[in-house]
């Protein structure tokens, strides 16, 4: 019996079965065998009277958008295939990202404090035989999803939202004047918040294989030595199984959470979640200084995050917008979809409201709500530099050496450079300074990276890097033009606001909003 089987079979529920089911889906995804669904159809007939302005499908992050819209007076219904409740495991974010809940009226100050289950400091970034850096107040808050979703659910209903649980989305027909879901619910706009395996997103991507994967395994367990600090990005091993393993660890309400994650491509021969879980269990004692038999496991944690270069997803249909994981609006380095939603919630809720007010619900008009963001696209090169392809032979410590060199320079440049990067926000000045400083201090390491990532990836990256700089300038320029925007017709105002958002978020200039 493997270690993974031994540990997982002791836990309540069929967790081993769940892990294996997730592995089968992952295998189908890697083999390109996930069926392409036909859940979106189109009709030229008008629908007539509509029940709702917006119908949201999928409740986990969908309720965030639903609540923000309902509070603005939008008529919203939300369908969820099961019962809408948060998972037991906390979501980790930085405190500044949470302020949006209060700003938009989704939570009171007191409710926000109650939603915060854990706070810890400092957090560590460290690499095998390399640098170790400690920072304060970055991703050091654990939010309780159960309380959060329950509170948002109540606020949503109180604001006039209609929640339909045990109501799975099956299909949608898009008409010129609205959409009808499951032949029953009629609305002006459908929001797809059904996660990265959403049938709508899969149909939009037409069976395309992901360009990259982030695989995560871990657990929450009791019995660790007392430790109130966290790890944000830590590695203590060289490359193995053509993977560089990274770790996260932090105090949780009912124990200590440890994650092991790795970035790969989507080749079928890549190891699956169960094999990764086995490595996790073998390595964890050395990582945390405990024997497995000292631990009382509360729950296993696992997941995979497919990333597509063509992200965020712009659906080809009128009246359908993807949000949350289905939209892929986070970098391929991040598995923080909750944090990404918080970062974009104000932008999305304002934009959707304006789209409804001005009736801009065509595929083209909705595409600008999920625009190209160079700040996301530049991270593809970092993903490549932190992963190894199946056939590549590189020195076992190359990734550790590179990261150690880069983070040393970022630390010297100070927190304004380091902190946004750790929160998945890339800004042109910070990136430029880091690259210049690292190239001067460690030319040998940078030279080694070029064959690892390949010239096409590097050239592609340069385009996004130039765009990142251009977006920064355009955003600054747009601020000067702000006073004139009220002279624009409302249709143009809608597009103008979306462009400003695209330049702002696409250049990481939204970071200062919540400081
Ligand atoms: C191990 C692990 C750790 C994580 N840790 C963090 C973290 O610390 N911080 C952070 O920011 N993020 C974290 N994440 C990511 C975060 O959990 C996800 O980004 C987030 O859950 C995505 O929400 P979503 O609503 O977009 O998709 P999902 O979570 O996939 O939810 C989809 C929702 O749609 C519903 N649904 C699906 N199909 C249908 C259907 N046919 N009809 C109706 N409803 C449907 C589902 O029931 C569900 O409610 C972690 C994820 C994992 C796996």
Using a 6 Å cutoff on CB, does residue 37 contact ligand 1?
A: no
Give me ligand 1 centre to Cα 335, in Å.
10
Rg (CA), the chain: 23
- Mean pLDDT, residues 302-326 taken together: 97
Q: Does domain 40-118+139-208+313-372 have CATH number 3.40.50.300?
A: no
**Does residue 287 surpass a pLDDT of 60?**
yes
* pLDDT number for residue 513: 67
**Sheet of strand 116-119, all strands in order from the earlier edge strand to the far edge:** 91-93, 141-143, 116-119
Contacts of 135 (CB under 8 A, 6+ apart): 122, 123, 125, 232, 415, 418, 419, 422
E strand spans, 137-293: 141-143, 162-164, 172-175, 178-181, 185-192, 212-222, 230-234, 246-252, 255-264
Asked whether the predicted pLDDT for residue 193 surpasses 90, the reply is: yes
Question: What is the tens place of the pLDDT at every residue in 347-357?
Answer: 999 999 999 99
Could you give the CA distance from residue 447 to residue 445 in angstroms, rounded to a whole number? 5
Cα atoms in the 13 Å half-sphere on the side-chain side of 331: 25
Q: Taking each helix axis from N to C terminus, what angle separates 490-506 and 337-357, rounded to the nearest 10 degrees?
A: 170
Distance 61 CA to ligand 1 centre (A): 7
Q: What is the mean pLDDT of residues 392-396?
A: 93
CA distance 186 to 49: 8
Take atom 24 of ligand 1 and give the residue whose Cα is closest: 195
Q: Are 310 and 370 in contact (CB under 8 A)?
A: no
Indicate the pLDDT class of residue 514, thresholds 50, 70 and 90: low
pLDDT in tens, 112-136: 999 999 999 999 999 999 999 999 9
**One-character DSSP codes across 202-248:** HHHHTTPPPSEEEEEEEEEEE-PPP---EEEEE--S--BTTB--EEE
Band the pLDDT of 491: cuts 50, 70, 90: confident
Provide CATH 3.50.50.60 ranges for the chain: 40-118+139-208+313-372
Q: What is the pLDDT of residue 98?
A: 97
pLDDT, tens only, 241-262: 999 999 999 999 999 999 999 9
Find out whether the beta carbon of 81 lies less than 6 Å from any atom of ligand 1. Answer: yes
Our answer on whether the CB atom of 349 is closer than 6 Å to any ligand 1 atom is no
Residue 462 in this model has a pLDDT that exceeds 70: yes
CA of 356 to the centre of ligand 1 (A): 26
Please answer whether residues 280 and 260 qualify as being in contact, where contact means their C-beta atoms are separated by less than 8 angstroms.
Answer: yes
* Nearest residue to 115 via CA among 82, 149, 81: 149
Per the DSSP assignment, residues forming a β-bridge with 142 are: 92, 118
- Return the ligand 1 atom nearest residue 217 CA: 1
Beta bridge partners of 213: 264, 306
**Ligand 1: does its nearest atom lie under 6 Å from the Cβ of 185?**
no
Helix (H) or strand (E) run with residue 436 in it? helix 428-441
Task: Dump pLDDT digits (tens) for 419-453.
Answer: 999 988 999 999 999 999 999 999 998 888 889 99
- Which residue of 91, 153, 230, 300 sits with most ligand 1 atoms within 8 Å of its CB, as the best mutation to test the pocket? 91
* Per-residue confidence (pLDDT) for residue 446, from 0 to 100: 84
Asked if residue 485 has pLDDT above 90, the reply is no
| 64 Cβ inside 6 Å of ligand 1 | no
pLDDT for the residue 141: 97
Q: What percent of the chain has pLDDT over 70?
A: 99
CB 37 within 8 A of CB 203: yes
State mean pLDDT over 282-297: 96
Query: For 197-248, what is each residue's pLDDT tens digit?
Result: 999 999 999 989 999 999 999 999 999 999 999 999 999 999 999 999 999 9
**pLDDT of 7 over the 70 cut:** yes
Is residue 321 pLDDT above 80, yes or no? yes
Angle at 126 (CA atoms; ends 227, 340), nearest 5 degrees? 85
């Amino acid at each position: 019996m493997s270690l993974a089987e031994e540990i997982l079979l002791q836990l309540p529920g069929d967790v081993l079965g769940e892990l294996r089911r997730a592995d089968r889906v992952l295998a189908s995804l890697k083999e390109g065998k996930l069926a392409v669904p036909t859940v979106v159809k189109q009709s030229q007939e008008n629908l007539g009277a509509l029940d709702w302005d917006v119908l949201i499908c999928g409740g986990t992050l969908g309720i965030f958008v639903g609540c923000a819209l309902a509070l603005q007076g939008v008529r919203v219904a939300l369908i969820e295939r099961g019962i809408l409740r948060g998972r037991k495991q906390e979501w980790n974010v930085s405190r500044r990202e949470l302020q949006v809940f209060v700003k938009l009226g989704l939570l009171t100050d007191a409710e926000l404090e109650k939603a915060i289950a854990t706070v810890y400091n400092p957090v560590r970034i460290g690499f095998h035989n390399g640098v170790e850096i400690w920072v304060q107040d970055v991703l050091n808050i654990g939010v309780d999803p159960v309380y959060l979703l329950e509170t948002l659910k109540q606020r949503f209903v109180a604001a006039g939202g209609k929640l339909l649980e045990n109501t799975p989305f099956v299909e949608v027909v898009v008409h010129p004047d609205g959409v009808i879901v499951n032949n029953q619910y009629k609305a002006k706009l459908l929001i797809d918040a059904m996660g990265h395996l959403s049938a709508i997103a899969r149909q939009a991507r037409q069976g395309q294989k992901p360009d990259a994967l982030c695989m995560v395994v871990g657990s929450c367990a009791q019995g660790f030595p007392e430790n109130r600090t966290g790890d944000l990005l830590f590695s203590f091993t060289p490359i193995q199984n053509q993977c560089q393993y990274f770790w996260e660890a932090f105090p949780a309400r009912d124990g200590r959470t440890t994650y092991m994650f790795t970035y790969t491509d989507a080749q079928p021969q890549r190891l699956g979640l169960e094999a990764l879980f086995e490595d996790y269990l073998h390595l964890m004692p050395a990582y945390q200084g405990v024997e497995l038999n000292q631990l009382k496991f509360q729950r296993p944690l696992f997941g995979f995050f497919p990333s597509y270069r063509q992200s965020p997803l712009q659906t080809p249909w009128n009246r359908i917008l993807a949000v949350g994981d289905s939209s892929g609006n986070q970098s391929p380095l991040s598995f923080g979809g909750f944090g990404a939603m918080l970062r974009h919630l104000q932008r999305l809720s304002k934009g959707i409201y304006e789209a409804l007010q001005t009736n801009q619900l065509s595929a083209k008009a909705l595409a600008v709500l999920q625009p190209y963001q160079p700040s996301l696209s530049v991270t593809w090169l970092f993903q490549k530099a932190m992963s190894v392809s199946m056939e590549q032979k590189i020195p076992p410590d190359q990734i550790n050496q590179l990261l150690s060199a880069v983070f040393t320079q970022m630390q010297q440049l100070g927190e304004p450079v380091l902190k946004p990067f750790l929160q998945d926000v890339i800004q042109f000045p910070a990136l430029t300074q880091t690259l210049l400083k690292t190239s001067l201090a460690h030319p040998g390491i940078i030279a080694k990276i070029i064959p690892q990532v390949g010239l096409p990836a590097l050239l592609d990256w340069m385009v996004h890097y130039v765009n990142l700089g251009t977006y920064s300038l355009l955003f600054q320029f747009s601020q000067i033009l702000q006073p004139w925007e009220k002279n624009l017709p409302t249709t143009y105002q809608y597009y103008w606001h979306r462009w400003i958002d695209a330049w702002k978020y696409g250049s990481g200039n939204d970071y200062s909003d919540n400081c």
